[in-house]
Amino acid sequence: MFAIVEVAGQQFKVEKDDKIFVNRLPQKEGEKITVEKVLLVEDGGKTLVGTPVVKGYEVKATVITHLKGDKVKVFKKKRRKGYQKLNGHRQLFTEILIESIGKAKAAPKAKATAKKKEDSAEEKPAAKTAPKAKNEAAADSKTKAAPKKATAKSGTEKKKEEPKATAQKTTKAATAKKNSATAKGSTAKKRDDKEKKEEK
C-alpha cells in the first residue's frame, strides 16, 4: 500500500515506515502530524485518484529531526566587466517518519455539531415567522395610509388647478378688453377721417 501526498508544497510517494525529507515544518521534534492532502491511494490493487484530494484518507507521521541540506555554491560572473559574486545556500529540511496510511476516523464531535445544527434549524423558522407578522402589519398600515395621501394630493391638485383657471379667465378678459379698445379706436379714426373728407 502506498500513497502520494502533498507536504509543505511538495508531492511525495510514501509507504508505511518510510523516512522522507520535506521542507522545514513548524512542529517540534517528536510531534505527530496528519497529512490530509492525499492525492492518490493504492490499496490491494485498487487505485483511488483524488479530484484533487481523496476524501476520507489521511497519512499520519512523526517529526524526527530538523536539519540543513548540503551547501550549494552560487557563483555569478560577467566577463570583461570585473564582476563576480559567490554565495552559498543550505536548504532547511525536516525529516519525518510515515507511521500509517488509512481511512480517517469520523470524529464524534461532528455528530454532536450536526445535532446542534438540526436543533437550531428547527428553532429558526419559529423565530422567522414573528418578523414576517411585523412586516405584514407594517404593510397593512402603509396600504391604509396610502388612500389618505391620495385624497390629500387630489385636494391640493384641485386647489392648484383653480388658480390656473382664474388666471386663464383674467387673461382672456384682458385680451378681450384690448381687442375692444383697438376696435373702438379704429372706428373712431375712421369717423374722423370721414368727417375731414366731408369738410373738404
d(CA 98, CA 60): 6
Pull the grid cell for residue 6: 502533498
The pTM score is 0.48
| Residue 100: strand pairing partners | 60
Sign of CA dihedral 178, 181, 187, 189: negative
- pLDDT (0 to 100) of residue 11: 93
d(CA 45, CA 103): 16
d(CA 87, CA 24): 21
Q: Does the pLDDT value for residue 162 go beyond 60?
A: no
**Dihedral angle at the C-alpha atoms of 11, 16, 20, 23, nearest 10 degrees?**
50
Could you tell me the end-to-end alpha-carbon distance of the chain, in angstroms, rounded to an integer?
143
Mean pLDDT of 174-187: 69
Residue 71 DSSP symbol: -
Q: Does the pLDDT value for residue 148 go beyond 80?
A: no
Q: Find cell 517528536 and name the residue.
A: 30
Pull the grid cell for residue 142: 402603509
Q: Is the distance from CB of 111 to CB of 38 less than 8 angstroms?
A: no
Vertex 104, ends 120 and 27: CA angle to 5°? Answer: 100
The pLDDT tens digits of the residues spanning 79-106 come to 999 999 999 999 999 999 999 998 887 7
Q: Does the pLDDT value for residue 2 go beyond 80?
A: yes
Per the prediction, the chain carries an average pLDDT of 78
Q: Does the pLDDT value for residue 189 go beyond 60?
A: yes
Q: Is the distance from CB of 19 to CB of 61 less than 8 angstroms?
A: no
pLDDT band at 199 (very low <50, low <70, confident <90, very high): confident
